[in-house]
Amino acid sequence: MPDTPSAPVLLGDQPGSFPHSVLAERHPAIIRQVREAFPYGPAQQRALDGLLAECTRGVIEPLPAGAHDRDRWDAWGMREYAGRSWFEVPWLWSESWFYRRLLQAVGYFGPGPWQGIDPFRPFKLAELDSAETDGELAALDDLAGLPDGEQARALLHGSLWGNRADLGFRLSAEGARPADAAPGLVADDSERLWALLDAPGEGAGAPTVCVVADNAGRELVPDLLLIDHLLTSGRVGQAVLHVKPYPYYVSDATTADVLDALRRLTGAGKAAAGYGRRLWSALADGRLVLRAHPFSSAPLPYGRMPDDLRAEFASAALTVVKGDLNYRRLVGDRLWPATTPFADVTAYFPGPVAALRTLKSEVITGLDPRVEAELVAAEDQRWRTSGTHALIQVRDPHRGARPAPR
């Protein structure tokens, strides 16, 4: 991907910057929340105290020699960054390192009685069981009678907006309108996305789509609903859902979170239960496959993905990359000029790729210059991190690079 002086790697060393606030404020808050959510014993309490001191005032300490993933983290940069301030290494790396160290502190990797206990599970379940989720699932009853095209648009926008998924389900106003009519949608390649899925593939059989999941709970549910639609409509013959191999970034989805979401669907009754039963059956017969590749939790951009993952994405008709963190990994966690072509920074990707993302960090590419100017004039730079704007961007290597949509 392009590597120019105009696109510096994001660090957390500038007070007042968004990355600095994550390292200095959000991470200590997460430690407090995790401590309050479980009755951890004295050893874990001391480990959490040590992590708090280290991540705010200390330097990066390497993993213990016996850690199961020590070699992997050595290859991912731990040797290079050990002894340096958390604020002076790439922000993507230090964020990922925080969650690996948090799991170590609470005993997640064991051995011991806390092995495998997700420290973020209470927060995920609270969101999944909320009244807001009830309302979004009830809205599926009205969706069933709509034409296929309208259902598809609603479910795509539900997946895009995540915890604002009701905008997509209800099909009212902004949820399914084009980018120039929806103030929150700053780029919209949705027609190109559908064209890739509707194009005849090579050889027999329907194509495969890969979906790289982002968050659990109310954001994972609409991702699963979209996958069900792709399978039942015949647009794809198989969906491969990539989740995290262990709890990550508080709410990132794991296999356990997928199962919780399916149980939530089947327990909701009516249309939602139908989605849940179909998805459960799809898992059982192999039309829906779960992947938990170690690289899904790597502190690195996707430009450095291993060969086996590259081969899997290359074989898919489309890879859909969900969410803000995965977008940062897709385009590189750099402060690109916002008009840098999305196709250029994703040219390394081995197959067609689509990004569905609500903006919650400063990284962005592919904007039309007029759109950027309007956003800056109206909101300065708050639109980059407020979660009130979103984008759908697609690169099809078989059709070449195209200008960003207006």
- Assigned domain for 2 exists: no
- Assigned domain for 149 exists: yes
Statement to judge: residues 215 and 306 lie in one domain: yes
Statement to judge: residues 80 and 194 lie in one domain: no
Domain count, the chain: 2
Q: Say what the pTM is.
A: 0.91
* Reported confidence tier of residue 137, pLDDT bands at 50, 70, 90: very high
Cβ contacts of residue 72 below 8 Å, gap of 6+? Answer: 294
**Please, what sign has the CA dihedral across residues 133, 262, 287, 281?**
negative
* Reported confidence tier of residue 381, pLDDT bands at 50, 70, 90: confident
Statement to judge: residues 153 and 281 lie in one domain: yes
Q: With residue 321 as reference, give the H or E element that holds it.
A: strand 318-322
Pair of tokens at residue 30? 């997460």
What is the reported pLDDT for 392?
Answer: 97
Query: Using an 8 Å Cβ cutoff, are 230 and 206 in contact?
Result: no
Statement to judge: residues 106 and 209 lie in one domain: no
Pair of tokens at residue 393? 């961007």
Residue that is last in its domain, among 119, 142, 161: 119
- Assigned domain for 360 exists: yes
Closest CA to 241 of 217, 218, 219, 211: 211
Q: Strand, helix or coil at 238?
A: strand
Q: What is the CATH number of the domain that holds 213?
A: 3.40.50.10880
Closest CA to 338 of 376, 377, 304, 303: 376
CA atoms within 13 A on the CB side of 33: 13
CA dihedral 249, 372, 350, 402 (to 10 degrees): 160
* Reported confidence tier of residue 144, pLDDT bands at 50, 70, 90: confident
* Reported confidence tier of residue 380, pLDDT bands at 50, 70, 90: confident
The residues facing 187 across adjacent strands are 391
The residues facing 15 across adjacent strands are none
**Please, what sign has the CA dihedral across residues 396, 400, 404, 405?**
negative
Query: Using an 8 Å Cβ cutoff, are 365 and 394 in contact?
Result: no
Statement to judge: residues 45 and 151 lie in one domain: no
- How far, in Å, CA of 126 to CA of 131, rounded? 10
Statement to judge: residues 275 and 159 lie in one domain: yes
Residue that is last in its domain, among 69, 86, 119: 119
- How far, in Å, CA of 73 to CA of 144, rounded? 47
* Reported confidence tier of residue 199, pLDDT bands at 50, 70, 90: confident
- Assigned domain for 406 exists: no
Statement to judge: residues 303 and 341 lie in one domain: yes
- Assigned domain for 333 exists: yes
- Assigned domain for 288 exists: yes
Longest dimension (CA), the chain: 60
Cβ contacts of residue 240 below 8 Å, gap of 6+? Answer: 208, 209, 210, 211, 289, 290, 291, 312, 316
More confident residue, 378 or 68: 68
pLDDT, tens digit, for every residue of 47-78?
999 999 999 999 999 999 999 999 999 999 99
* Reported confidence tier of residue 183, pLDDT bands at 50, 70, 90: low
Statement to judge: residues 72 and 136 lie in one domain: no
pLDDT, tens digit, for every residue of 9-31?
999 999 999 999 999 999 999 99
What is the reported pLDDT for 388?
Answer: 87
Query: Using an 8 Å Cβ cutoff, are 260 and 130 in contact?
Result: no
- Assigned domain for 403 exists: no
Statement to judge: residues 114 and 37 lie in one domain: yes
Statement to judge: residues 87 and 160 lie in one domain: no
Domain residue limits at 317: 128-395
The residues facing 391 across adjacent strands are 187, 357
Per-residue pLDDT averaged across 380-394, rounded?
Answer: 88
- Assigned domain for 98 exists: yes
- CA end-to-end distance (rounded Å), the chain: 24
Statement to judge: residues 297 and 173 lie in one domain: yes
Per the prediction, the chain carries an average pLDDT of 89
Residue that is last in its domain, among 93, 119, 145: 119
Statement to judge: residues 276 and 159 lie in one domain: yes
pLDDT, tens digit, for every residue of 277-325?
999 999 999 999 999 999 999 999 999 999 999 999 999 999 999 999 9
What is the reported pLDDT for 53?
Answer: 97
pLDDT at 400 over 60: no
